[in-house]
Structure 1
């Protein structure tokens, strides 16, 4: 009977370990705003014509993070922004020296300030495991 109880406990422990396997190898990143700009051109008369409004952001690998892919940044209320391939960063590296991805999203009209909020990101490890990583609080990109 004791062997049966030990086997049941071992099965539960091993099953619990399986819950952590999907998180192993998922990249850890820091998402931050990188500014915005109004893109414009001049017509043949020299008048400035606004073409687009661009919001820029960065995705920086954190020290100790493995290689992987951030497939998208998920916005509060729906929608997403593109991510990219995340390169690994050694654990003893200063955060400012870790690899960075630069991204941008273009609008035809000005978005309301505070309207571009990121609540999570979808990531895949180098071995193909994937999950959505929820941020402790939304990140305001604009």
Structure 2
């Protein structure tokens, strides 16, 4: 009876195989990162637009008995005439609130991380509703 020696043929991956795998992973990352960043910007835009519409509806409701004089964000909430109205989305800022009569007012919000709401932002006014990229 002879002892048979098995020869080991498992030597791992070659350098070329490892480089090909790294190249494939790099291509996938290059595709995924911009898509992820774009989704974050869209989420910021949606937060600003949603807050503008909801705050506009709150202003309209509060404006019925007495005209609204002041709209501001303090902490994580919006206040109308120093009265708590609703929670604020993260990062959304009140840029301006203007009113020239009880029937005409405008609130302007922005989000610094948004694609379309980072500059001028969005506005909601009593006549035309929501407008992206417009100032009061």
In the superposition, the TM-score normalised over structure 1's length comes to: 0.33
Larger strand share, 1 or 2: 1
Higher RCO (C-alpha under 8 Å, 6+ residues apart): 1
Q: TM-score, normalised by structure 2?
A: 0.34
Determine which structure has the larger helix proportion and give its number.
2
Q: Which has the higher Rg, Structure 1 or Structure 2?
A: 2
